[in-house]
């Protein structure tokens, strides 16, 4: 909501500059978002009066004017405007002024005659496109005053952000009340005096409320014989300065009073109301109305409407009807001022997709006690500005009058909650400045042990405009904000620190993340939303439960319409994005929850593609392969202390059928990895291979074992034997390792595969595997004989079990 | 004989000066010290000397022999070190060639900031807890004193799922879950993702929040200020000023929006802070009694405070990324900068 400084000053006195006021309001919780100075473009332009005119000696179309701008010396100004005349009051741009158009005014000789300024048209000032002649100013304006001030344009607009709990601040008087809380200065309400005619309002209209729950109060006045037309300049300027469109004098007045009191009003053309009367009721099934914006709208029985004897003429509290609106031919006006139930207005406005100044206020909560004040104020202004006579009395139907809310406030509780040491008198003063009724009473019914209290508590009466205050804690906030949050002490918590509970998942997450970072992978974060086609793109099999993804009802776009059940498509998207930008060293991982049916497991996934490594002399890029991604997965498990895992080839269609594996832990799948299938690469427009893994962190957490135990450093030396065997090409290379360990028993310290060879040196269909075996005993130095015998036994066993030939 | 010895000494010392290689040195040694060497020959003539002369010449001969031997040793050492020097020179490298840096990954910038925030609060005794991102209306709104027709719901553009669930619009539901599962004292922070229907240069539909909650028998608003001021000083520097402005949240009362002095101009006012000198970083307040009632806590028995901050916003105070959607493109040229 916008307000202006000068307008606000109508209701309360204060000495603040706009910036100071903005600061005060902000620190009271009425945040000022912007401060905008009006009328800056006419700085340096003053009100001047032409006191004599004589012809220009050297030009037929120019004249020499003597102009009074309130100083002793009169200015000679050369002017060519057709309407310039003796005695005319017009704007004068003085020397040094830069006009709206960019023209800079300096003293000049025009056709040989000195000119010390410029008499201006509206166009030259940027006020309107009118360039026909000089702007004619009212003769009573004080000569020499700055034009902006003279025209009321020297104002400052403050843009306020009013929180939803403070509808009482959605008006000038409401903001003035906040200024009162700050300054203690008294409010100045508009003086309302009505000249009523003899015609009784009750005799010419009636109001029936069928649903008092949705409409607790409805009041109406009739103003006859109005002249609908343009509003006076001051009214138009006021509304325009706060961003409200100017329509006609009647509507402008209702908007002006809305801004003044925060009470939405509506004016009907009295003669277009069937039987000239008002019925407040729910809409009937199938009823329709064309609203002021000329849209025909469907009404439903949960909507409250204002109807005449036959049909709806307004959507209550939201928007008036087109048919009964004020037009140039309207002569009699029925003015509505009412209070509607906030939740009903809210639901109607939401259903219709309409958010009007009226619905905005009603749905947050207007002040039912404002209804008559605002109605009378508008009637007064209509009579003043649009002529017309006000019928006698008000039709005031008020079935839902509420008693004011009373709250007990314990002063000690204020200090208990805030950590302050406020005196009761300070609390009392703050609340009464805010308009609360307050008196000290003997406390009753409060549990003595529950909170520190004294014998006396305040009995606080909540004013009707403060719909947000219903509890003691609400009053405590009022005290806090007016006292100033900045004045509340700053202390550290005194209570006990709770005993922390270990979080194993977080530890697994941390270890794996550190491992991946040290492996050269960059951390990615992707949106949880993905395109439903991603399952096709990664060739997920038809029955895969990951396809049953959760769908958004209101997605931003199809690309973001389901919740991801796997991280793999996101990382492939990232690879594609980077490749499209010529970045081809792709090593990314992401750790995130995914959404699988009603569970949110945490996953880690990674991708290696293009060229990985340093890409510099001595550390060139290399193309990743299956064993890079496998090593990453193995490392991730090992940092969690998991060693007894197994790999098994799968038939997951996402992957190359012969270059993939699932990771098994106790024969349960805890992850998958491999080379992306060529079609997957094609779907993501990647011209090179990509290697992916995804692990289930929850399963890893279950198996993780961070406990470490000391093993004695070997005292006796180890003996190394290398072994190369020739086996069938298809044989798994981990089989010999198992046999070596089981044959060698405790004396085998470690076995490492250090070479794999397929080629001319071995027969077709065979491969050579070379291992380093370290033999070691914890209790003695092994002799060559012992080791040789054992090594021979290993060779024999490999030959028996795997038909392995020793390669010489 | 004395003269001969002295002549040999002079000859050898002179010759040593000319030596350039170990081979030359060895030849010289043989020439004088070898079995048929010149010095050996002279020494062999000792027998011919008189009884009186023998000890004198003998002593002289030993002295000369010893000093020459030292000279040879010195020459050898000098040659060794010269040779080593040449050898090392031959091993010279171009030290301007690039070093072989291990390729290290980098944590995502948002995660770097999130981790820092977690560390600061953990030092103050807050424990990290997490909760589901798919939530119910109850946990996301109702239990947080935001009933269906509450205007505050307008401030949350909520993503709904087709099954009636929603994506949490803030991390506050975890507060409720935590209070349901344990009794005070509670001192937790809740890092994680939240979602709102919003997509422009300063909003992403998914963002990260850190929510905090402290509940105990007597927690005051002044303690909320203390915790947040400590946080801000550690996060943004010792000189950081903090400002608490009254605000409205359905789940806290009194509520505050909290600003820090602008990190660019130190509060003097600049374009980054809209010339106010202040930058809003979080929302906070005392836990509303209605929230306590929703989890069956007695608001007469316990008080508490809660706060919530957007991690991207805080990250961007430091990084100044014009379009925060860049965070989630995962462009490696971007990720590599942090």
Record: fold of A719-806: Alpha-Beta Plaits (3.30.70)
Same domain for B193 and B297? yes
Q: CA-CA distance, A50 to A67, in Å (whole number)?
A: 5
Instruction: Please list every residue in chain B whose beta carbon sits closer than 8 Å to the beta carbon of residue A495.
Output: 185, 187, 214, 216-219
**Beta-carbon separation of B205 and A560 below 8 A:** yes
- pLDDT above 90 coverage of chain B, percent: 66
Q: Return the H-helix or E-strand segment holding A416.
A: helix A411-418
Which residues in chain A touch residue B297, judged by CB atoms under 8 angstroms apart? none
Which chain B residue has its CA at the smallest distance from A489's CA? B222
Minimal-distance CA residue of chain A relative to B155: A164
Would the CB atoms of A526 and B328 count as touching at under 8 Å? yes
| Interface residue A9 vs chain B (CB under 8 A) | no
What's the pLDDT tens digit per position in B231-262? 999 999 999 999 999 999 999 999 999 999 98
Residue A347, helix vs strand vs coil: helix
Q: Which long-range contacts (CB under 8 A, 24 or more apart) does B3-10 make?
A: B4/B42, B5/B39, B5/B42, B5/B57, B5/B60, B5/B61, B5/B64, B6/B64, B8/B32, B8/B38, B8/B39, B8/B42, B8/B64, B9/B64, B9/B67, B9/B68
CATH class given for the domain over A504-703: alpha beta
**Pair (B122, B256) in one structural domain:** yes
The predicted model gives B275-292 an average pLDDT of 94
Which pLDDT value is given to residue A450?
Answer: 45
Residue A714 pLDDT grade (very low, low, confident, very high; cuts 50, 70, 90) = confident
User: What pLDDT is recorded for position A445?
Assistant: 54
pLDDT, tens digit (0-9, with 9 covering 90-100), for B291-333: 999 999 999 999 999 999 999 999 999 899 999 999 999 999 9
Match domain A196-397 to its CATH number in 3.40.50.460, 3.90.550.10, 3.50.40.10, 2.60.40.10.
3.50.40.10
Domain for residue B162, yes or no?
yes
* Confidence at residue A452, expressed as pLDDT on a 0 to 100 scale: 45
Contact B188, B213 (CB under 8 A): yes
pLDDT band per the 50, 70, 90 thresholds, residue A451 = very low
Helix (H, G, I), strand (E, B), or coil: what is residue B280?
strand
Nearest to A316 by CA among A270, A363, A277: A363
Q: Is the pLDDT of residue A384 over 70?
A: yes
Are B151 and A363 within 8 A, CB to CB?
yes
The size of the A-B interface in CB pairs under 8 A is: 244
What pLDDT is attached to residue A455? 63
Residues of chain A with C-beta less than 8 angstroms from the C-beta of B154: 164
Q: Where are the domains of chain A?
A: 2-38+155-183, 40-150, 196-397, 406-487, 504-703, 719-806
In a domain, B100, yes or no: no
Whether B271 and B236 share a structural domain: yes
What is the reported pTM?
Answer: 0.84
Contact B335 A523 (CB under 8 A): yes
Chain B nearest CA to A680, separation (Å): 20
**pLDDT at residue A617 in the model:** 81
User: Domain boundary residue among B90, B125, B158?
Assistant: B90
Report the alpha-carbon angle A375-A376-A377, nearest 5: 95
A345 membership: H or E segment, kind and range = helix A342-352
* Residue B168 sits in the same domain as residue B249: yes
Looking at the structure of chain B, the number of domains it has is: 2
Mean pLDDT of the region A46-71: 92
Q: Supply φ then ψ for residue B24, to 5 degrees.
A: -60, -40
How large is the average pLDDT for residues A183-190? 94
The CATH number for B164's domain is 3.30.930.10
Closest to A477 (Cβ–Cβ): which among B204, B254, B329? B254
CB contact under 8 A, B300 and A451: yes
User: Lowest-confidence range among A179-188, A675-684, B3-12, B208-217?
Assistant: B3-12
Of B175, B168, B163, B208, which is closest to residue B314 (Cα–Cα)?
B208
**Gyration radius from chain A CA atoms:** 43
Architecture per CATH, A2-38+155-183? 2-Layer Sandwich (3.30)
- What is the per-residue burial (b if ≥16 Cβ within 10 Å, else e) of A360-387? bbbbbbbbbbbbbbbbbbbbbbbbebbb
Confidence class for position A249, pLDDT limits 50, 70, 90? very high
- Quote the DSSP letter at residue B142: G
User: Would the pLDDT of B156 be above 80?
Assistant: no
Using CA atoms, how far residue A88 sits from A47, A116, B149, in Å, is 11, 18, 60
Residue A799: its pLDDT value, please?
Answer: 93
For residues A494-512, give the mean pLDDT: 92
Q: Are strands A522-523 and A585-593 parallel, antiparallel or unpaired?
A: parallel
| Å between B282 CA and nearest CA of chain A | 15
- Residue A397 contacts residue A377 (beta carbons within 8 Å): no
Average pLDDT over residues A143-170: 90
Residue keyed to tokens 């010396």: A73
Q: How confident is the model at residue A673 (pLDDT cuts 50, 70, 90)?
A: very high
pLDDT per position as a tens digit, A553-582: 999 999 999 999 999 999 999 999 999 999
B74 in the same domain as B6: yes
Helix extents (H) in chain B:
2-18, 22-33, 38-44, 53-90, 109-123, 137-140, 173-181, 221-236, 289-294, 311-319, 332-335
Instruction: Enumerate residues 656 to 695 of chain A having a beta carbon within 8 A of any beta carbon in chain B.
Output: none
Looking at residue B7, its pLDDT comes to: 86
Contacts of A463 (CB under 8 A, 6+ apart): A404, A435, A436, A437
* B64, B187: one domain: no
What is the C-alpha separation between B219 and B49, in angstroms, rounded?
112
Q: Identify the domain boundary among B90, B119, B137.
A: B90
State how far residue B326 is from chain A, nearest Cα, in angstroms. 11
Residue A189, pLDDT score: 95
The model's confidence at residue A454, banded by pLDDT at 50, 70 and 90, is low
B199 alpha-carbon distance from chain centroid: 33
3-class secondary-structure state, position A768? strand
Residues A250 and A229: their CA atoms lie apart, in Å, by 8
Nearest beta carbon to residue A554 from set B111, B197, B256: B197
Residue of chain B minimizing CA distance to A576: B331
Q: How confident is the model at residue B50 (pLDDT cuts 50, 70, 90)?
A: confident
Which neighbouring-strand residues pair with A590? A605
- Determine the average pLDDT of the residues in A111-140: 86
Residues B162, A550: C-beta atoms closer than 8 Å: yes
Residue B229, domain member (yes or no):
yes
- Find residues 506-525 of chain A whose CB sits inside 8 Å of chain B: 506, 513, 516-525
User: In terms of domains, do B238 and B325 share one?
Assistant: yes
Distance from CA of B285 to the nearest CA of A (A): 10
Q: Which residues of B touch A518 (CB under 8 A)?
A: 102, 104-105
CA dist B334 and B328 (Å) reads 10
Pairing of strands A265-269, A296-298: unpaired
Name the residue of chain A whose CA is nearest to B243's CA.
Answer: A486
Model pLDDT, residue A40? 64
- How far, in Å, CA of A130 to CA of B35, rounded? 128
A756 touches chain B (CB under 8 A): no
Residue-wise pLDDT for A1-54, tens only, equals 999 999 999 999 999 999 999 999 999 999 999 998 887 667 889 999 999 999
Residues B163 and B55 in one domain: no
Give the pLDDT confidence score for residue A31 in this predicted structure: 94
Task: Compute and round to an integer the Cα radius of gyration of chain B.
Answer: 43
Of A493, A525, A560, the CB nearest to B226: A493
Tell me, yes or no, whether B18 and B127 share the same domain. Answer: no
Question: pLDDT confidence of B229, banded at 50, 70, 90?
Answer: very high
Residues 343 through 362 of chain A touching chain B, CB cutoff 8 Å: 343, 346-347
Q: According to the model, what pLDDT value does residue A449 have?
A: 45
Put simply, the chain A residues between 166 and 185 with a CB less than 8 A from any chain B CB are: 166
Per-residue pLDDT tens over the stretch B90-143 = 999 999 988 888 889 999 999 999 999 999 999 999 999 999 999 999 999 999
Q: Which residues contact B132 (CB under 8 A, 6 or more apart)?
A: A600, B168, B173
Helix H or strand E encompassing A754: strand A748-757
Q: Does residue B102 lie within any of the structural domains?
A: no
Query: For an interface test with A, which of B130, B212, B253, B255 has the most A Cβ atoms less than 10 Å from its Cβ?
Result: B253
| Count of C-beta atoms within a 10 Å radius of residue A689 | 18
Task: Please say if the pLDDT value at position A99 is more than 50.
Answer: yes
Domains A2-38+155-183 and A406-487 share a fold: yes
Is 70 exceeded by the pLDDT of residue A589? yes
Rounded CA separation B116/B135 (Å) = 27
Q: Examine residue B213 and state whether it is found in any structural domain, yes or no.
A: yes
Please indicate, yes or no, if residue B99 is contained in any of the structural domains.
no
State whether residue A420 sits within 8 Å of chain B by CB. Answer: yes
The alpha-carbon gap from A497 to the nearest alpha carbon of chain B, in Å, equals 6
* A 443-502 residues with CB < 8 A to B: 447, 450-451, 471, 473-474, 476-477, 480-481, 485-486, 488-498, 500-501
Answer yes or no: is B324 within a domain: yes
Q: What ipTM goes with this model? A: 0.87
The per-residue pLDDT of chain B, averaged, comes to 91
Rounded distance, CA A484 to CA A689, Å? 63
Q: Which residue of A has its CA nearest to B246?
A: A29
Contacts for A55-58 with beta carbons within 8 Å, 24 or more apart?
Answer: A56/A110, A56/A111, A56/A113, A57/A112, A57/A113, A58/A111, A58/A112, A58/A113
pLDDT of residue A464: 96
- Which of B107, B229, B245 faces A517 most closely, judged by CB atoms? B107
- How close B84 gets to chain A, by Cα (Å)? 27
Say yes or no to pLDDT of B17 above 50.
yes
**Residue A442: predicted pLDDT:** 72
Claim to verify: residue B55 and residue B186 sit in the same structural domain = no
Q: B178 with B240, same domain?
A: yes
Residue A187 in contact with partner chain B when CB distance is under 8 A: no
Q: With an 8 Å Cβ cutoff, is A555 touching chain B? A: yes
Residue with tokens 């027969």: A763
Mean pLDDT of A593-620: 91
Domain A406-487 has what CATH class?
alpha beta
Computed over every residue of chain A, the mean pLDDT equals 93
Q: Is A194 on the interface with B (CB under 8 A)?
A: no
Cα A200 to chain centroid distance, Å, stands at 52
Same domain, B146 and B77: no
Q: Which residues of A touch B230 (CB under 8 A)?
A: 492
Chain A residue with the nearest C-alpha to that of B115: A510
> Does A421 touch chain B if contact means CB atoms closer than 8 Å?
no
- Could you tell me the residue range of the domain that residue B73 belongs to? 2-90
Which chain B residue shows the shortest CA-CA distance from A496?
A: B185
Region A674-698: what's the mean pLDDT?
A: 97
Q: Which of A226-240, A619-633, B7-21, B295-309 has the lowest mean pLDDT?
A: B7-21
Q: Of B55, B90, B125, which residue is a domain's last? A: B90
Mutate to test the interface with B, among A34, A37, A163, A343 (most CBs of B within 10 A): A163
- Written out in words, the top-level CATH class of the domain with range A40-150 is mainly beta
């Amino acid at each position: 909501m916008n307000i202006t400084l000068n307008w606000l000053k109508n209701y309360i006195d204060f000495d603040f500059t706009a910036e100071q006021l903005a600061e005060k309001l902000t620190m009271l919780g009425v945040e000022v978002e912007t401060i905008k100075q009006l009328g800056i473009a006419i700085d340096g332009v003053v009100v001047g009066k032409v006191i004599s005119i004589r012809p220009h000696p050297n030009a037929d179309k120019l004249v020499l004017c003597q102009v009074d701008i309130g100083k002793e010396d009169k200015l000679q100004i050369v002017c060519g405007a057709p309407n310039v005349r003796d005695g005319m009051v017009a704007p004068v741009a003085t020397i040094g002024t830069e006009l709206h158009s960019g023209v800079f005014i300096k003293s000049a000789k025009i056709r040989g005659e000195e000119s010390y300024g410029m008499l201006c048209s509206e166009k030259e000032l940027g006020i309107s496109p009118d360039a026909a002649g000089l702007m004619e100013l009212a003769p009573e304006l004080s000569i020499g005053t700055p034009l902006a001030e003279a025209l009321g344009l020297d104002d400052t607009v403050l843009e306020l952000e009013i929180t939803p709990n403070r509808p009482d601040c959605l008006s000038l008087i409401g903001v003035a009340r906040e200024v009162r809380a700050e300054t203690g200065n008294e409010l100045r309400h508009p003086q309302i005096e009505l000249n009523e005619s003899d015609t009784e309002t009750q005799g010419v209209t009636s109001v029936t409320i069928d649903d008092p729950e949705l409409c607790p109060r409805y009041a109406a006045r009739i103003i006859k014989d109005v002249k609908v037309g343009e509003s006076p300049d001051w009214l138009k300027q006021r509304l325009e300065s706060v961003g409200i469109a100017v329509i006609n004098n009647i509507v402008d007045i209702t908007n002006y009073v809305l801004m003044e009191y925060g009470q939405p009003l509506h004016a009907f053309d009295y003669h277009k109301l069937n039987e000239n009367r008002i019925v407040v009721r729910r809409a009937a099934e199938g009823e329709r109305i064309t609203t002021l914006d000329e849209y025909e709208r469907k009404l439903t029985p949960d909507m409250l409407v204002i109807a005449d004897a036959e049909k709806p003429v307004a959507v209550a509290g939201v928007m008036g009807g087109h048919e009964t609106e004020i037009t140039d031919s309207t002569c009699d006006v029925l003015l509505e001022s009412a209070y509607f139930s906030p939740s009903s207005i809210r639901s109607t406005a939401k259903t219709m997709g309409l958010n009007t100044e009226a619905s905005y206020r009603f749905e947050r909560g207007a002040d039912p006690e404002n209804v008559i004040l605002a109605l009378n104020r508008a009637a007064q202004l209509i009579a003043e500005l649009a002529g017309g006579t006000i019928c006698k009395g008000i039709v005031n139907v008020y079935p839902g009058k509420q008693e004011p809310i009373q709250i007990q406030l314990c002063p000690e509780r204020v200090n208990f909650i805030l950590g302050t040491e406020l005196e009761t008198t300070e609390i009392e003063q703050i609340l009464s400045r805010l308009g609360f009724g307050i008196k000290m009473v003997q406390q009753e019914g409060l549990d003595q042990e529950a909170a520190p209290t004294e014998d006396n508590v305040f009995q606080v009466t909540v004013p009707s405009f403060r719909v947000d205050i219903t509890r003691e804690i609400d009053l405590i906030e009022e005290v806090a904000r007016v006292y100033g949050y900045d004045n509340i002490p700053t202390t550290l918590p005194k209570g006990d620190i709770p005993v922390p509970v270990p979080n194993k998942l977080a530890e697994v997450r941390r270890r794996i993340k550190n491992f991946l970072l040290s492996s050269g992978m960059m951390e990615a974060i992707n949106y949880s939303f993905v395109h439903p086609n991603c399952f096709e793109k990664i060739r997920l099999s038809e029955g895969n439960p990951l396809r049953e993804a959760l769908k958004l009802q209101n997605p931003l776009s199809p690309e973001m319409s389901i919740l991801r059940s796997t991280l793999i498509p996101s990382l492939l998207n990232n690879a594609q994005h980077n490749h499209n930008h010529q970045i081809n060293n792709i090593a990314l991982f992401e750790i995130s929850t995914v959404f699988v049916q009603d569970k949110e497991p945490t996953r880690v996934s990674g991708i290696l593609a293009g060229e990985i490594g340093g890409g510099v002399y001595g550390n060139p890029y290399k193309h990743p392969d299956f064993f890079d991604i496998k090593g990453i997965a193995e490392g991730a498990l090992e940092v969690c202390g998991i060693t007894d895992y197994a790999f098994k080839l799968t038939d997951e269609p996402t992957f190359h059928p012969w270059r993939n594996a699932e990771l098994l832990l106790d024969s349960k799948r805890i992850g998958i990895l491999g080379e992306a299938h060529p079609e997957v690469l094609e779907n993501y427009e990647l011209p090179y291979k990509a290697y992916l893994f995804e692990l289930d962190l929850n399963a890893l957490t279950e198996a993780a074992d961070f406990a470490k135990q000391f093993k004695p450093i070997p005292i006796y030396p180890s003996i190394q034997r290398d072994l190369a065997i020739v086996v069938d090409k298809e044989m798994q290379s981990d089989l010999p390792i198992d046999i070596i360990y089981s044959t060698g028993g405790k004396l085998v310290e470690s076995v490492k595969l250090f070479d794999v060879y397929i080629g001319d040196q071995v027969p077709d269909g065979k491969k050579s595997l070379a291992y380093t075996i370290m033999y070691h005993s914890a209790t003695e130095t092994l002799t060559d004989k012992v080791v040789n015998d054992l090594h021979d036994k290993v060779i024999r066993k490999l030959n028996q079990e795997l038909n392995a030939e020793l390669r010489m | 004989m004395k003269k001969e010895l002295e002549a040999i000494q002079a000859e050898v010392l002179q010759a040593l000066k000319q030596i350039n290689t170990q081979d030359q040195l060895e030849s010289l040694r043989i020439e004088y010290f070898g079995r048929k060497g010149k010095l050996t020959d002279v020494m062999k003539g000792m027998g011919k000397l008189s009884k009186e002369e023998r000890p004198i010449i003998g002593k002289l001969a030993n002295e000369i022999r010893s000093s020459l031997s030292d000279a040879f040793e010195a020459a050898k050492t000098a040659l060794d070190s010269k040779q080593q020097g040449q050898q090392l020179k031959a091993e010279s490298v171009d030290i301007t060639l690039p070093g072989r840096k291990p390729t290290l990954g980098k944590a995502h910038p948002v995660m770097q900031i999130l981790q820092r925030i977690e560390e600061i609060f953990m030092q103050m005794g807050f424990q990290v807890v997490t909760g589901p991102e798919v939530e119910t209306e109850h946990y996301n709104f109702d239990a947080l004193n935001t009933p269906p027709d509450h205007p505050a719901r307008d401030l949350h553009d909520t993503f709904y799922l087709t099954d009636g669930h929603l994506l949490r619009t803030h991390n506050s539901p975890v507060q409720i879950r935590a209070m349901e599962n344990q009794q005070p004292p509670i001192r937790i922070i809740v890092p994680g993702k939240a979602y709102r229907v919003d997509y422009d240069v300063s909003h992403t539909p998914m963002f990260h929040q850190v929510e905090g909650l402290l509940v105990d028998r007597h927690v005051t608003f002044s303690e909320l200020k203390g915790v947040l001021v400590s946080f801000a000083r550690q996060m943004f520097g010792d000189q950081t000023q903090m400002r608490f402005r009254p605000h409205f949240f359905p789940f806290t009362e009194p509520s505050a929006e909290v600003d820090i002095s602008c990190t660019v101009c130190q509060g003097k006012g600049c374009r980054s802070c809209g010339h106010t000198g202040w930058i809003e970083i979080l929302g906070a307040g005392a836990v509303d009694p209605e929230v306590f009632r929703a989890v069956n806590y007695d608001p007469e028995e316990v008080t508490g405070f809660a706060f919530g901050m957007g991690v991207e916003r805080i990250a961007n105070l430091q990084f100044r990324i014009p379009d925060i959607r860049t965070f989630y493109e995962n462009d490696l040229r971007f990720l590599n900068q942090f």
